[in-house]
Structures are given as structure tokens and as C-alpha cells.
Amino acid sequence: MKRRKIKKILIANRGEIAVRVQRTCRDLGIASVAVFSDPDRHALHVRHADEAYPLPGSAPGETYLNQEKIFDVARRSGANAVHPGYGFLSENPGFARACNERGLVFIGPPPEAIELMGEKTRARARMSQAGVLVVPGTPPLATASDARAEARKIGYPVLIKAAAGGGGKGMRRVERPEELGPAFEACRREALSAFGDDRVYLEKYLPEPHHVEFQILADTYGRTLHLFERDCSIQRRHQKIIEETPSPLMTEDLRARMGEAAVRAAKACGYTNAGTIEFLVDADRNFYFLEMNTRLQVEHPITEMVTGVDIVERQIRIAEGARLEDDVLSMRGTAMECRIYAEDPWNHFLPSPGDIKKLSSPGGPGVRDDTGVYAGYAIPVEYDPLISKLIVWGETRRQTLARMSRALEEYQLIGVRTNIPYLRRIVQHPEFAKGVYDTHFIVKHEDELLRADKNRPEVVTLAAAAILAWLGDEKGMTIPFSKKTEISPWKMSGRPGAFDS
């Protein structure tokens, strides 16, 4: 492959991931170009960039998904490469192809690989051809009647899934034949709305699986390697909220077999750059290919913490035409990530946009906070309410758990409600602490995790009281609570809608 030096990167994204890419650009002496919508004019990724250009408008379709506006910025700024981050255009083969046609280096895989792995049933077929075991399933089905016939062969329960889907959208679990017809049509409508493609297929439902993924890197010279696993089983409505590495269920033999399968899967689709192979692992430690994410993964930092590899730096070097190094990779310690959202767990997890009045991020040994916000920033209503990714590292899982619990307690954010108290309850749950969990953990313990504790003594520390006095009539806040009493100052404030810790 012809080597091409990247001198300026346009980051076609926003929020924390744009800031994350900018930091590696600065480490490498590469200029970064930010794009921003009207609501993001004062966003952190705009402040961190070497240059920033507006994408007039508010909705994603007229801003971050508008390819012509992005290419116009690339032309005006003189950028010679594009990093898509995750979401938005990151897994759009047409965008990757258009970058190449315009002479821009697309920092990601070839458009053909994105296209192949983005269509779930084609990806399953290719994996089967490559000898990677897949969950029993079907090709896209035309009618509910076809689905009923296939479900009888597979056996209930089944999952109906969008052929072009991901992120839990266009997915329904069906327990009985009479539920299949309505669920089939609902999935088709949701798939059409979310992906512009109403094709759906059936997949055998695996009870109590672990969701384990392998990070892979592949250069253009045929070298492909994996950077070990991440366990992403703590999910709410198929959305990951806590990830860790190594997986609590992993053995050396299982890691070797799954890693080899991940590398084989990547090679089978002609993959280059960074990607993630996702598997389901059943109670007997049998594993099945689920899907491939052809982009940088949200939870990539925990892999960086245990391997010491800057995955974004590797993405850029591979895109320039460099060979992967021959170093033998190893894992050191354990790492965990919690996704901090501006949402109210005690009000159906509704988003909580608004102004951040005060913000103090946690620190100390082994703590990293990848954020896209700051004190004074207004969280917009137009986009995903992710505030930051809180990542911790420890020499042992016990140390990592202790650090995560401490970091969540230190996290001070005033002005909007967040899911921090909810995350803290998960991290401190006895079964999670033992590593005894699967993808149904949230469902199994939902009432317990959301239960208001009425038996705690109603005491407010002087510090919390001072914050309340400072707040006056502000409507939302998240502050750390005492580890011993876990008392929320909301109990003393008498404000409706406030949640317990």
C-alpha cells in the first residue's frame, strides 16, 4: 500500500468521542478540524479543535449526517483525512466511499467491509462460510407467516431483529406463537424508521448469555490481531451501560479460541483498521458470532487501559499505510467503564437536558474521564444525552470495583439529573461484585436497583446543605452521597420528583 502522511483530520462527529480523537491528534502533531451544529456552537469539542466550522442547522440529518456539508468543510479547511468516530456516518459505506473518491483518507475500514458486515444476514452467512459459529437463525423474511414457520423449526423463544440494525433497535423477543405476528410488524416499522430498511429476520434466543466482544486491529498487509475481550453484559434495553475487561467468565482456553475466531472473522471480510467482533457466550461457554462493529467502539478505553495501546493512534497509522508492530500484546490489570448519561432513572430514564451549573470530575489513581461537557455547558435536546465515560483501572478486579465506586461517589454534577446513583447501585450490588451476571442482570434486579430506600436516617451533611442553599430553586442536581448513610439532600429539600440515592 502506498504510504500517505496525514496532516490534518476532520472529525465528523461531536461530544466526547470528538474530544478523544482530538487528543491523539495533538499527541501526534496532527491538526484537528471540528464541525458543529447550531446547538453545539459552544461544545467542548469545538473548544478543543485547532479549527472549527459550522454545520448550519440543528437536526442530525441537516448537520452531522449531511455529507455535502462535511465535504465542503474538508475542502475549505484543507483536511486530508476524516475520522468518523462512532454513530452518525461511521458505518455508512457510501460516506467511506465518497471520502476515497474525493482524495480524503477515511480512517476506518474499506467501504466493502462496512457494507458486508452492516447487513446482518449477509454477515452471518460470511461467518458461517469462514467456520465461525453463529446463533441459529434465518435470512430476511417477507411475511409474518414465513416467520411463524421458521420459528417452529428454530424453537421458541426467538428474537426478531432488523437486518440492517444495531444498538437494540428493531428487535423483539417473542415467547409464544401468538405474539409473533404483532411483534414482526412492529419490528419492521421500527427498522424502517431507524435504518430506512424494513427487512427483519429471526434468531434463536439464548437464555442468560454473556455479551463478550473482541477488539481487533488489521493493517493493509494482511496482519490482523486482537486486543483481548470486553464484557458488555450489563445492558438496559439492549444498550450497554457498564463494560469491563477481562470478562469475569473468561478462561485462557476460551480467550484463545474466541480470539482466534475474531481474527478469522475479520480476515473473512477483508477488514482493515480497528473493529469489534461481538459474541454471545452461553452458560456452557459455547460462543456464537453476533455482529461486527466496523468502527471505533464506545468502550474502547478499557482496552487501552489494560494493554497500553492507543487505539485511535493505531487507526491513524494504519490509515497512513503503516504496518502493525510485531510486539506481543498482554493484559495488565483490569478496567471498567460506566456511561454517564443526563437522564433520570427514577422517571423512566427520560433525558435531562439543561445547563450544567457545577461540575467536578473524579480523579486519583487509575481514573480516567472521557467527557464532552464542562461547567456552564448546556446539554442539548437534539442528541444522545451521554455526558462522559468514566473509566477506571486496577491491578485486580476488587481494586477496580473499589475505585469505580469511589469515583462515582466523587462525581459532582449540578444542574441536570444523571444516572450516577443508578450506576453506583449496580457496581455495589453483591452479584455484580462477584462477577455473577449476564445480559439479564438489569431485568432481574430492576425493582431492587430503582427502589427508594425509606429506612435511611434523614441527615444532610454540612457540605450538601451548603450546596442546597447555593442552588436555591434549581430543578436538578446530582451530588455524591455519604458511603455510610447514602443520604440524598433531596430528602430534606421536599422537592417533587427528586430521586433517592
Element of type H or E holding 98? helix 93-101
3-state secondary structure of 461: coil
For 446-469, letters b (16+ CB in 10 Å) and e give: eeebeeeeeebeeebeeebeebbe
Spatial distance between the Cα atoms of 391 and 470, rounded to a whole number of angstroms:
30
Quick check: is 398 catalytic?
A: no
Q: At which residue does the C-alpha cell 421458541 appear?
A: 156
Cα–Cα distance for residue pair 253/65, rounded to 1 Å? 43
SS3 sequence, 314-369? Answer: HHHHHHHCCCCCCCCCCCCCEEEEEEEECEEHHHCCEECCEECCEEECCCCCCEEE
**Is the previous residue joined to 111 through a cis bond, with omega within 30 degrees of 0?**
no
Angle, CA 275 vertex, CA 193 and CA 46 arms, to 5°: 70
Closest by CA position to 117, among listed 238, 230, 226, 277: 277
Q: Which residue has the cell 472529525?
A: 11
Q: Hey, what amino acid is at 187?
A: C
Encode 367-396 in three state secondary structure.
EEEEECCCCCCEECCCCCCEEEEEEEEECC
Q: For the chain, what's the residue count?
A: 501
Q: For cell 493512534, name the residue.
A: 313
Amino acid at 199: R
Listed in sequence order, the DSSP H helices in 155-211 are 177-195
Distance from C-alpha of 90 to C-alpha of 87, rounded to nearest angstrom: 6
Q: Which of 295, 317, 424, 425 is catalytic?
A: 295
Cβ atoms of 450 and 457 within 8 Å: the answer is: no
**Active site residues per annotation:** 295
